[in-house]
Structure formats: C-alpha cells, structure tokens
C-alpha cells in the first residue's frame, strides 16, 4: 500500500525498440487494457508521452489492496486478448521438441526464447539424429550451438568454423573447431573436404559471405543433405542493419527465392548475375522452406 511503480512502454513502431528486440520472435504483448489490468486499484500520479520515440510513461501508486482479477495477454499471432490460463491456440510448430529443450539448456539464440528456429529444424533434422553424420556450422561465437548439436546428434562429428582463434576453447569429444575467414574463397573451399550431411550458416550474416558459402559448399552435400541459411533479416531490414551487410548486387534472400523458382519450374532459366550458381543449385534442390528468419534447402 502506498508503493509506487514507474511503467514505461514502447510501441512496436519505434525503431529503437525493434533494434533491441530484433533477435526475438514477438508472440506476446501487453495491450493498453491488459497493462492497466496488472495495476488494478492504482492511482496515476503522472503520465507522459514522447511522440518522437513512441514511449509512454506513467507513475502509479497503490491506493488499496487489489482484488483477485482475471489477467490477459495480447497474442500477436491470434490478434486478440487471451485470458491467462486458457488453452492458447497452437500452431503447427508449437509442440516443444527435444532439440529446442537442448537449445534452451545451452542458451543458443536459435531456441524458442529468441529466434525460435529449432522446432522448425526438428522437422527436417530428426531423421538424422542417431546416424553417424557430419554437421558443419559456420560461426561458433560462444560455443552454445556446437554443444547443442553434440548432444542432439550423439553419433555425429560436429565441425564449427570461426574467424576467432579463441573459439578453439569449445573443442570437445566430437566437436572440431576450424579457424577460417569465411570471406576468403580458398579457405571456404577447403571446408568441402569435411563432406557434411548438414550445413548451418550462422556466421557473419554478411551477404557476400553467405553467398560464397552457399555457392561453394552446397554441391558437396549428399542426396537428402540439408543446408540452413540463418538470419536473413540482414538482407531484408535496412532500418535495423547497416548497408555493410548488403554488399552484393542481390541479397541472400533474393538468391534463395530464385533458387526456389528454379526448383519449382524444373528449368534452369535464371538470368541474374549469379545465374550459373542459381541454376545449378536450383536444379539440385528437392525442397526450399522459407521460415521466419531462415531458409532451409534439401539436396535432391
């Protein structure tokens, strides 16, 4: 009683708020009504609106004990308020997966608490789980993903590639770290010798690096091999990512879309600057799946 709380809310139209939240999939929000419901029986002492930044502030004081009341959240997928405790409508990929649980354990940004990639990846990768495969991941960063793959694929050899020598600290049983510059064509070409069944590009997200890896490494996948190109928002969100990410005539998303067109049409008719690569990969591709933030290609 008598306690005060300062509430600050930012609208999704504010660029600065989207920059800080770009790694997260936006599922739940408080709308104006549900936010007010959290602070039932409070008096508003002061409020302010900053139109330039889309920020709303209010100072509330508890004036009497709150009675038990229903609590609601705004579900962005359903576009409506849902009472907490109700059965939340589930989409195709909402069932929790073993891979996502392991991803949460190691705090990789691929998990459902951030990018929310792993439940989708399970759809394509589960069949390989007990096989003695090789998985190549471009980009090691803090080692969370390679440790996740090591646990999820108990018979796999995991190869992580990063430009930073410090990433060698994540070497372990079945985890091999290779130091390489993924902007260097000769160094990327050497990775072909690994002969992976699964390739995950989670490195710099610079378009020229993404395309070099795709054009160089896709061919070495065996039939049924999987190529995952992550974080395509660097191609598509110029308000969030500087121009240095988009350093090619076509961005990575456009190249993947052209590959999908060739795969669907079954005719190598691309006429872009990357026509040779797009036509070749498109004719070798069985399936292209575009998900939130990533593209998955299956080798024919």
Contact of 190 with 219, CB cutoff 8 Å: no
Backbone angles phi, psi at 188, to 5 degrees: -65, -40
**Alpha-carbon span 188 to 217, nearest angstrom:** 8
299 strand-pairing partners? 285
Is 227:299 a contact under the CB 8 Å cutoff? yes
> CA–CA separation, 186 vs 170, rounded Å?
24
Neighbours of 124 (CB within 10 A): 16
Give me the long-range contacts of 33-38 (CB less than 8 A, separation at least 24). Answer: 33/72, 33/81, 34/71, 34/72, 34/73, 34/74, 34/81, 35/7, 35/9, 37/69, 37/70, 37/71, 37/72, 38/71
User: SS3 letters for 150-208?
Assistant: HHHCCCCEEEEEECCHHHHHHCECCEEEEECCCCCHHHHHHHHHHCCCEEEECCCCCHH
pLDDT band at 239 (very low <50, low <70, confident <90, very high): confident
With cut-offs at 50, 70 and 90, classify the pLDDT of residue 225.
very high
Residues facing residue 46 across a β-bridge: 59
What pLDDT, on the 0 to 100 scale, is given for residue 27?
A: 61
Please write the tens of the pLDDT for every residue from 152-197.
999 999 999 999 999 999 999 999 999 999 999 999 999 999 999 9
Coil/strand/helix, residue 292: coil
pLDDT for the residue 34: 61
Please indicate whether residue 58 or residue 277 has the higher confidence score (pLDDT): 277
Tens of pLDDT, residue by residue over 268-287, are 999 999 999 999 999 999 99
- pLDDT per residue as tens digits for the range 85-133: 666 667 788 767 999 999 999 999 999 888 889 999 999 999 999 999 9
**In the chain, pLDDT over 70 holds for what percent of residues?**
79
CA distance 99 to 150: 11
Lowest mean pLDDT among 13-27, 75-89, 179-193, 227-241: 13-27
Whether residue 146 contacts residue 208, with contact meaning beta carbons closer than 8 Å, is answered with no
């Amino acid at each position: 009683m008598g306690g005060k709380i300062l509430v600050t809310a930012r609208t999704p139209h504010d660029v600065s708020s989207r920059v800080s939240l770009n790694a997260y999939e936006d599922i739940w929000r408080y709308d104006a009504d549900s936010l007010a419901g959290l602070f039932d029986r409070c008096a508003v002492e002061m409020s302010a609106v900053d139109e330039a930044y889309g920020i709303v502030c209010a100072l509330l004081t508890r004036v009497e004990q709150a009675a038990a009341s229903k609590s609601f959240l705004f579900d962005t997928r359903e576009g409506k308020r849902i009472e907490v405790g109700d059965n939340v409508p589930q989409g195709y990929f909402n069932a929790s997966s073993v891979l996502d649980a392991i991803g949460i354990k190691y705090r990789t940004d691929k998990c459902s608490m951030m990018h929310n990639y792993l439940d989708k990846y399970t759809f394509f990768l589960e069949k390989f789980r007990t096989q003695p495969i090789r998985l190549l991941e471009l980009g090691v960063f803090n080692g969370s993903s390679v440790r996740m793959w090591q646990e999820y694929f108990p018979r796999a050899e995991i190869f992580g590639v990063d430009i930073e020598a410090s990433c060698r600290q994540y070497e372990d049983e079945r985890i091999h770290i290779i130091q390489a510059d993924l902007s260097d064509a000769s160094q990327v070409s050497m990775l072909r010798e690994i002969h992976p069944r699964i390739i995950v590009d989670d490195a710099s997200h610079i378009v020229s690096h993404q395309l070099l890896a795709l054009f160089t490494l896709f061919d070495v996948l065996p039939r049924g091999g999987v190529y995952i190109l992550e974080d395509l928002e660097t191609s598509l969100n110029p308000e969030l990512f500087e121009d240095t990410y988009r350093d090619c005539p076509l961005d990575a998303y456009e190249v993947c879309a052209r590959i999908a067109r060739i795969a669907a049409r079954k005719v190598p008719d691309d006429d872009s600057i990357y026509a040779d690569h797009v036509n070749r990969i498109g004719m070798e591709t069985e399936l292209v799946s575009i998900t939130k933030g990533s593209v998955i290609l299956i080798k024919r």
